Structure 1
Amino acid sequence: MIRVLLADDQALVRTGFRMILENAPGMQVVAEAADGSTAVEMVGQSRPDIVLMDVRMPELDGIEATRRIRRQPEAPRVLMLTTFDLDEYVYAALRAGASGFLLKDTLAGDLLSAIQAVTCGNAIVAPSVTRRLIERFIGTGREIPRHCAADLEVLTEREREVLQLIARGLSNTEIAAHLFLSEGTVKTHVSRILSKLGLRDRVQAVVMAYECGLVHIGESSIHVQPTSPRRS
């Protein structure tokens, strides 16, 4: 049973999500919160597996609430809820530890799939939405942070290549086919990348890849920096 906490200041939104979850097998809404402070408090009391967190809430916004929740021992995963075109804080939320984000008009089936995926330790990185997010908050003209060179030095050349493909939104299976590797080898590379860079999940890996200039956004598509063939 996946235990879910709903955090949104709009009662109607919480009611809609509750109806969807309560009619789904294996899902249980264990608590609701109308603001960020209450959400942080309820996590300690109800011990959910995942929090559906609104970005904009009174008293404490979803970003800071996410940051505080993720600092707790055995912290639940957090999925941000946003209208995207209005909310300018999603990027910060991913940096705070969220495992992804959903639009509030997402279909019921997609919502349930996202919850199941994140609970299993995956991250929600929709390539089309991620592209819009990165274009808006990072952009191609942004100065590369000074820490990037030192951080990326810990990666092997193959791991850099895998990180670039993660940032394009490719799954492990797709990366394996692209690089002519086994899926098990790709999983090992991904695990090492996250460990070496101190990242929580693939979402933060995507953010870092864009921040550090490993991936650039063209006028109509994402382009990966060209690399020469390398050994695994």
Structure 2
Amino acid sequence: MKALIVDGEELIRLSLKEVISVSSNFQEILEAGSQHEFLARTASHDELSLIVVHPSSLGNDGADCLRLVQRLYPDAALVAMLDREGQNVGDLGNMVTVLRNASVGQMVTAIRRALKLPLDGFGSVSNQPSRPDVRGALRHEFDRFQENATPNRSAIDSIDLGRLSYRQKQILAMAADGLPNKEIAARLSIAEGTVKAHMHAIFKVLGVSNRTQAVIRYGAVGSANPRPSQSDSWTYANAS
């Protein structure tokens, strides 16, 4: 079986990948961070058993992406992640919904329900000892990713965090919390394009190519500044 995760946040996709892997026997789990990437995946993968989509993370393309999933993969199990109870994502007959902030057990249950698989021993449905160690699996996946993404000691020592501005450290801290660029921009009262420009500058300073690697490498340097308090944040509200 093959599964596809469609979510605009890389850190979320990383976690979901491991949750899906313990939900059933998948030979391949693909990722797409946008509707464009989703369509690119469809060009080379015509058979998918499961598709997990977080419409809100795709911005204005979220609703369209759900409809495309239904049209291109009518037989695939579909799980839509919602930001809140009662969120309207349309009426797709084979869709199972789950909250974005659901527990790992609830997410596993939703996936297996969408696949029409037995629920015994998984998630919150049962407390049997046979329930998979999802948390342990997530830690293992992240440790493995960190090992591959973290540079050697000499490379770490060569990074000059002084080249990061206060604003860039703010943005990096929010990215570590999994906030998308749009929400970061709203919280800092700056344009989303400004956030993207800062992120690209951060990548260059840290010598990485994506948000996840940036967060891990920043932590590996070991000298990240504490996050600003709310009382200090207003001073920088108009910084760019």
The TM-score bracket by the shorter chain reads 0.3 to 0.5
Greater helix fraction, Structure 1 or Structure 2: 2
Normalising by the residue count of structure 2, what TM-score does the alignment of the two structures yield? Answer: 0.42
Higher Cα Rg: structure 1 or 2?
2
Report the TM-score, using the length of structure 1 for normalisation.
0.43
